Amino acid sequence: MGEVAELLEKAIKELKEEGLNPDLLLVGPKFLEYSAPVLREHASTLKIYKIDELGFDAVVADASFLGQIRRASRRISVEPIFKEKEMWEELQKLDV
């Protein structure tokens, strides 16, 4: 979960450094499944919406500028983290 928190915090920080106010988080179902505890920590500052098409990804955005300027959002993904976790679990099952 630490990696997800770092990704999310980094995206939020980048947007704030550009003078934006990240207040929206669009999440895919796999992102939500993998990172629910982290999202609970941000529920008071971000409006969180589930978007099926995002899959393992999430988009952090400033809702005021979303769709107007490209830099108003950051897309992050937990797929590499999820796949690595699965790989390690499989290796542990092999008992090498």
Give how far Cα 5 sits from Cα of 8, 23, 39, 69, 70, Å: 5, 16, 8, 25, 23
pLDDT in tens, the chain (96 residues): 588 889 899 999 999 999 999 999 999 999 998 888 888 888 899 999 999 999 999 999 999 998 888 789 999 998 877 777 777 777 777 765
pLDDT at 12: 94
- Identify residue 74 by its one-letter amino acid code: R
pLDDT at 16: 95
The domains located in the chain, with CATH, are 2-94 (3.30.2320.10)
pLDDT at 79: 82
Please give the model's pTM, rounded to 2 decimal places. Answer: 0.80
- Cα separation of 25 and 5, whole Å? 13
Measure the CA angle with vertex 42, ends 25 and 75; round to 5°.
30
